[in-house]
């Protein structure tokens, strides 16, 4: 049993490494005419799906009427990428290493008031909802760097399709940089890109060609008039709200290569990550969490000391006066403390599932912390988590079965089946409903049928049998022995004060763990919904450990108070005390939805809450444990 996590760890890291070596090893490029076996001249630009902070639905590049590659290739994607809706395709923007080009034609598209109106409308809708392109070159995002308020540069791994000016003359965020976007009720399309590729030459280090270290881009809008005489200057490309005449859209690009031998290939992601929200806030959040942990630890230690002190004092008293000792508080309930809880079945199932998710999170974060799952490994994090979850059916079955046996449960068959099926079933059903919505909307995030079948196969083919195996061992083991015997007759519970009633206790218990994580949570929600990159796994791992400590300490503390009040129904309560953090998570997610996101439309809202429900359920199981 003890070797299992190690094995999984090795498997997972081995797998992701094997999967990703091609993307992680440096690729060298050579000029046309000097290609060798180890360097090529063609630098292929790939396009990913488009997404928006105002809509949860991502769309494939091909859903829009942009220029398409005639011989379109789709690089193979891993499970995590498919689940996140990433769809990568080759683009018609093809250039050669160290060959500058200016104002090269990509393609032209024509629209008339009564032909292809749906395609144009879709582009307009994309501009309106602020959809962002995500381009990739040499497994590295093409960034758009622009100045934000205080003179700082922000490098975004995406750039918008265009800019919309509303009827009251407002322009969105980054589009204010161009003052020519000023006509009311007009859409401005970015039909030109200036790409700058920086490379590190191997001349001085004796290897051939150059390695790409940065790719930046500036979206531009030009109203080209003549395909045979492209100038790439002048007024922006306007799309009127209502088309009256023929509209010709000409897509162009310029590319310049710049040598920069200071930047290293290995640190080529740094400039993107450095412009992300800063680590000071992270330190603040860690400090904040540490204070809470210290406070709780102090409380626990104090209580322990006080209890011990009293015990010793009482022993001394017994020696001197031989008084009949008067028991009080939690000592009174020792005969009831291990009385099995009501609904032991459900609790044992939750505990089993929680174990599974807990180990999965732990290993995934640990690997991420070691740098196996950096953002350069697209989708690796998700893939690793899913594979681990599937492989960790055994601990779930074991814990659930053993707890159930300890609670004196008889219906072991239902216990095993429910452990394997209940929570994954709920998640899958939620997932499936959302998938139908995505599919109806034609979004790229809709999981293809094949992947859906593969997930089901992994669930029923690997996870379920492993859970059965774990349950078999769990039932074979002796139940956990309790240090004290349980009385035959349950004690009467005295009436409780407001603070020791179950519900207020549970509500209070969740606050402290939530206080530890909410800053971190902001970044995670940002990375999921605002598509910012998340890379501070070291911090996350730390916060994970802190969360663990706070959850257990808060639970111990409240449990102690309740036992002092002679209330011995602690099984469920201790589970729910930490589990209630999930409810705060939900409230925070709702707050985030209304304060930070500008999501519009019913489908997006349903999807947001659908995904949030999944997160909350997983988190509930995780913290509850
Ligand atoms: C491409 O343009 C850049 C910037 O103008 C220049 O430094 C570089 O030498 C050019 N490269 C070639 C091959 O002409």
Please tell me the total number of residues recorded for the chain in this structure: 625
* 338 in Cβ contact with 482 (< 8 Å): yes
Q: What angle do CA 52, 55, 57 make, to 5 degrees?
A: 90
Query: Residue 35 has which token pair?
Result: 């290609």
pLDDT at residue number 2: 33
Using the Cα atoms of residue 238, residue 241, residue 246 and residue 249 in order, give the sign of their dihedral: positive
pLDDT at residue number 524: 75
State if residue 100 touches ligand 1 by the CB under 6 angstroms criterion: yes
Look at strands 159-160 and 132-133 and give their pairing.
antiparallel
**399 closest CA partner among 431, 353, 362:** 353
In the reported structure, the alpha carbon of residue 100 is separated from the centroid of ligand 1 by a whole-number distance in angstroms of: 6
At 28, give phi and psi (nearest 5°). Answer: -100, 145
In the reported structure, the alpha carbon of residue 258 is separated from the centroid of ligand 1 by a whole-number distance in angstroms of: 6
The answer on pLDDT for 20 being more than 50 is no
Number of Cβ within a 10 Å radius of residue 410 = 10
Farthest CA pair distance, the chain? 110
pLDDT at residue number 14: 37
> Of the spans 189-193, 235-239, 363-367, 501-505, which averages the highest pLDDT?
189-193
Q: What is the percent of the chain with per-residue pLDDT over 70, rounded to a whole number? A: 74
Q: What is the pLDDT of residues 555-584, one digit of tens each?
A: 777 777 766 666 666 677 777 777 777 777
When pLDDT is cut at 50, 70 and 90, the band that residue 325 belongs to is very low
Query: Residue 528 has which token pair?
Result: 């999921």
When pLDDT is cut at 50, 70 and 90, the band that residue 16 belongs to is very low
pLDDT at residue number 9: 37
pLDDT at residue number 112: 87
**Distance between CA atoms of residues 625 and 552, nearest Å:** 9
pLDDT at residue number 1: 27
DSSP string, 389-419: HHHTHHHHHHHHHHHHHHTT---HHHHHHHH
**Mean per-residue pLDDT of the chain:** 76
**Distance between CA atoms of residues 449 and 468, nearest Å:** 27
pLDDT at residue number 625: 45
At 177, give phi and psi (nearest 5°). Answer: -60, -25
The larger pLDDT score, comparing residue 528 to residue 318, is at: 528
Which residues, including other chains, have CB under 8 Å from residue 463's CB and lie 6 or more apart? 389, 390, 391, 393, 420, 424
State if residue 102 touches ligand 1 by the CB under 6 angstroms criterion: no
State if residue 260 touches ligand 1 by the CB under 6 angstroms criterion: no
The answer on pLDDT for 24 being more than 70 is no
Q: What angle do CA 174, 179, 180 make, to 5 degrees?
A: 115
Mean pLDDT of 313-330: 55
pLDDT at residue number 318: 58
The answer on pLDDT for 348 being more than 50 is yes
pLDDT at residue number 419: 80
State if residue 95 touches ligand 1 by the CB under 6 angstroms criterion: no
The answer on pLDDT for 479 being more than 50 is yes
* 96 in Cβ contact with 35 (< 8 Å): no
Mean pLDDT of 538-547: 76
pLDDT at residue number 256: 93
Number of Cβ within a 10 Å radius of residue 409 = 17
Q: Which atom of ligand 1 is nearest to the CA of 98?
A: 13
Task: Give the least confident one: 28-32, 146-150, 303-307, 502-506.
Answer: 502-506
State if residue 258 touches ligand 1 by the CB under 6 angstroms criterion: yes
State if residue 115 touches ligand 1 by the CB under 6 angstroms criterion: no
pLDDT at residue number 11: 38
**152 closest CA partner among 24, 278, 292:** 278
The larger pLDDT score, comparing residue 260 to residue 562, is at: 260
Straight-line distance from the first to the last Cα atom of the chain, in angstroms, rounded to the nearest whole number:
19
**Distance between CA atoms of residues 385 and 17, nearest Å:** 15
Number of Cβ within a 10 Å radius of residue 414 = 13
Backbone angle region of 235, left / alpha / beta, with phi > 0 → left and psi within -120 to 50 → alpha: beta
Using the Cα atoms of residue 482, residue 484, residue 485 and residue 491 in order, give the sign of their dihedral: negative
Q: What is the pLDDT of residues 355-404, one digit of tens each?
A: 787 788 888 888 877 776 666 667 777 788 888 888 888 888 888 888 78
Mean pLDDT of 485-499: 58
In the reported structure, the alpha carbon of residue 472 is separated from the centroid of ligand 1 by a whole-number distance in angstroms of: 69
Mean pLDDT of 464-476: 84
Which residues, including other chains, have CB under 8 Å from residue 520's CB and lie 6 or more apart? 282, 285, 539, 540, 543
Look at strands 39-40 and 28-29 and give their pairing.
parallel
The larger pLDDT score, comparing residue 166 to residue 198, is at: 198
Task: Give the least confident one: 144-153, 450-459, 593-602.
Answer: 593-602
In the reported structure, the alpha carbon of residue 591 is separated from the centroid of ligand 1 by a whole-number distance in angstroms of: 50
In the reported structure, the alpha carbon of residue 196 is separated from the centroid of ligand 1 by a whole-number distance in angstroms of: 10
Q: Which atom of ligand 1 is nearest to the CA of 31?
A: 13
Number of Cβ within a 10 Å radius of residue 508 = 16
**132 closest CA partner among 156, 159, 162:** 159
Q: What is the percent of the chain with per-residue pLDDT over 90, rounded to a whole number? A: 6
Mean pLDDT of 89-102: 89
Q: Is 356 helix (H, G, I), strand (E, B) or coil?
A: helix
**592 closest CA partner among 519, 543, 539, 512:** 519
Out of 258, 259, 260, 261, give the residue to mutate to test ligand 1, the one with the largest number of ligand atoms within 8 Å of its CB: 258
Q: What letters, b where the CB count within 10 A reaches 16 and e where it falls short, cover 198-228?
A: bbbebeeeeebbbbbbbbbbbbbbbbbeeee
**Distance between CA atoms of residues 61 and 58, nearest Å:** 10
**243 closest CA partner among 168, 184, 186:** 186
Mean pLDDT of 587-614: 62
In the reported structure, the alpha carbon of residue 24 is separated from the centroid of ligand 1 by a whole-number distance in angstroms of: 28
**Would you list the domain boundaries of the chain?**
95-268, 343-486, 498-625
At 32, give phi and psi (nearest 5°). Answer: -60, 135
The larger pLDDT score, comparing residue 408 to residue 143, is at: 143
pLDDT at residue number 257: 92
State if residue 181 touches ligand 1 by the CB under 6 angstroms criterion: no
Query: Residue 64 has which token pair?
Result: 């829009």
Mean pLDDT of 292-302: 77
Which residues, including other chains, have CB under 8 Å from residue 233's CB and lie 6 or more apart? 222
At 53, give phi and psi (nearest 5°). Answer: -80, -10
Backbone angle region of 321, left / alpha / beta, with phi > 0 → left and psi within -120 to 50 → alpha: alpha
């Amino acid at each position: 049993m003890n070797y299992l996590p190690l094995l999984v760890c090795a498997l997972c890291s081995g797998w992701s490494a094997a999967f990703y070596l091609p993307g992680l090893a440096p690729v060298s490029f050579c000029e046309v005419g000097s290609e060798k076996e180890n360097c090529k001249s063609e630098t292929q630009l790939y396009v990913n799906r488009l997404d928006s902070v105002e809509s949860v639905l991502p769309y494939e590049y091909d859903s829009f009427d942009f220029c398409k590659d005639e011989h379109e290739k789709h690089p193979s994607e891993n499970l995590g990428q498919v689940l996140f809706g990433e769809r990568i395709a080759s683009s018609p923007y093809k250039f050669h290493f160290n060959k500058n080009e200016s104002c090269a034609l990509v393609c032209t598209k024509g629209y008339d008031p009564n032909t292809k109106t749906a395609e144009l409308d879709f582009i307009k809708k994309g501009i309106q909802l602020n959809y962002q392109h995500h381009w990739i070159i040499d497994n590295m995002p093409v960034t758009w760097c622009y100045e934000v308020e205080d003179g700082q540069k922000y490098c975004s791994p995406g750039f918008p399709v265009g800019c919309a000016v509303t009827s009251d003359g407002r322009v969105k965020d980054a589009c204010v940089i161009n003052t020519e976007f000023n006509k009311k009720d007009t859409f401005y399309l970015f039909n030109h890109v200036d790409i700058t590729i920086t490379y590190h030459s191997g001349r001085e280090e004796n290897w051939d060609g150059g390695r790409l270290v940065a790719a930046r881009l500036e979206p531009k809008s030009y109203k080209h008039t003549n395909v045979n005489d492209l100038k790439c200057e002048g007024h922006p490309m306007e799309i009127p709200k209502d088309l009256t005449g023929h509209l010709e859209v000409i897509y162009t690009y310029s590319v310049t290569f710049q040598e920069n031998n200071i930047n290293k290939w290995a640190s080529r992601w740094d400039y993107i990550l450095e412009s992300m929200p800063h680590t000071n806030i992270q330190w603040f959040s860690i400090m904040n969490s540490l204070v809470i942990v210290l406070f709780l630890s102090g409380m626990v230690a104090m209580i322990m000391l006080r209890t011990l002190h009293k015990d010793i004092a009482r022993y001394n008293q017994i020696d001197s006066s031989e008084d009949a000792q008067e028991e009080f508080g939690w000592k009174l309930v020792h005969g009831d403390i291990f009385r099995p809880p009501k609904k032991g079945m459900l609790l044992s199932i939750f505990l089993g599932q929680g174990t599974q998710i807990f180990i999965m999170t732990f290993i995934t974060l640990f690997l991420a912390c070691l740098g196996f799952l950096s953002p350069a490994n697209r989708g690796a994090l998700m893939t690793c988590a899913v594979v681990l979850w599937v492989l960790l059916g055994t601990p779930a079955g074991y814990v659930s079965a053993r707890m159930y046996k300890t609670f004196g449960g008889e219906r072991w068959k239902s216990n095993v089946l429910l452990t394997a099926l209940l929570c994954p079933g709920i998640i899958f059903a939620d997932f499936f409903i959302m998938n139908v919505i995505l599919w109806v909307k034609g979004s790229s995030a809709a999981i293809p049928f094949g992947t859906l079948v593969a997930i089901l196969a992994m669930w029923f083919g690997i996870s379920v049998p492993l859970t059965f195996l774990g349950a078999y061992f769990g039932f074979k083991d002796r139940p956990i022995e309790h240090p004290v015997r349980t009385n035959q007759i349950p004690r009467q519970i005295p009436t409780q004060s407001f603070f020791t009633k179950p519900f207020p206790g549970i509500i209070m218990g969740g606050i402290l763990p939530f206080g530890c994580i909410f800053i971190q949570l902001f970044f995670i929600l940002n990375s999921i919904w605002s598509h910012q990159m998340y890379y501070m796994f070291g911090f996350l791992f730390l916060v994970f450990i802190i969360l663990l400590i706070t959850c257990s300490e808060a639970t111990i503390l409240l449990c102690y108070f309740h036992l002092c009040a002679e209330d011995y129904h602690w099984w469920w309560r201790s589970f729910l005390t930490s589990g209630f953090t999930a409810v705060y998570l939900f409230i925070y997610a709702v707050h985030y939805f209304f304060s930070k996101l500008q999501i519009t439309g019913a489908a997006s809202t349903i999807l947001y809450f659908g995904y949030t429900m999944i997160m909350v359920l997983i988190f509930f199981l995780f913290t509850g444990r």
